[in-house]
């Protein structure tokens, strides 16, 4: 008589399988708007930065202020305001910083142009380095005396041709 029957193995496997299935089904779908806000609220909130969280938009953040921003966006959409008016509302409160893509004017123009300036400076530095290395190579060739060149050529001759 076997101490373990089939039901002793199948029962725990069935429980583990049900637990895994329930845990997979319990995961929320990522970045889906909750049913109480329209997708347009999240479209607008994606363009706005969360004032509290680093690197998250108001649509992604779960901070209280981001939730409040989404609620304000939904209210303003219900009032019939346009997307530009809603953006202007948040810019008036927080400045251009609140936008993920700030307009290219004033100080933010430097942010937009700094990669180009950096590449330009890098290219100029590389060009200056190569010019200096080339000038040093030419100078080292001209600094060699005729005696040194003759001695070097003599040393480079095969042994049977050497004096």
pLDDT in the model for residue 70: 92
Give the model confidence (pLDDT) of 58-69 as tens digits.
Answer: 998 888 999 999
Q: What is the mean pLDDT of the chain?
A: 84
pLDDT in the model for residue 91: 92
Give the model confidence (pLDDT) of 77-131 as tens digits.
Answer: 999 999 999 999 999 999 888 988 878 777 778 888 899 999 999 999 999 999 9
Strand partners, 23: none
Q: Has residue 4 got a pLDDT over 50?
A: yes
Q: Which of 32, 94, 88 is nearest to 65 (CA)?
A: 94
pLDDT in the model for residue 1: 47
Sign of the CA dihedral running 98, 103, 40, 76: positive
Residue with tokens 């929320």: 28
Can you say how many angstroms the Cα of residue 63 is from the centroid of all Cα atoms in its chain? 22
Q: Is 33 exposed, middle or buried (0-12, 13-18, 19+ CB in 10 A)?
A: middle
């Amino acid at each position: 008589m076997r101490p373990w029957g089939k039901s002793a193995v199948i029962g725990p496997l069935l429980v583990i399988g049900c637990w895994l299935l329930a845990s997979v089904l319990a995961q929320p779908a990522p970045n889906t708007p909750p049913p109480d806000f329209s997708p347009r609220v999240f479209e607008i909130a994606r363009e706005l930065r969360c004032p509290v969280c680093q690197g998250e938009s108001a649509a992604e953040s779960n901070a209280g202020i981001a939730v409040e921003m989404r609620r304000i966006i939904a209210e303003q959409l219900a009032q019939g305001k346009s997307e530009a008016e809603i953006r202007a509302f948040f810019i008036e409160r927080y400045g251009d910083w609140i936008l993920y893509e700030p307009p290219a004017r004033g100080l933010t123009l430097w942010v937009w142009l700094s990669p180009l300036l950096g590449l330009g400076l890098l290219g100029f530095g590389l060009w200056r380095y190569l010019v200096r290395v080339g000038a040093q190579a030419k100078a080292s060739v001209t600094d060699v005396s005729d005696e040194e060149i003759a001695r070097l050529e003599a040393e480079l001759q095969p042994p049977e041709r050497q004096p």
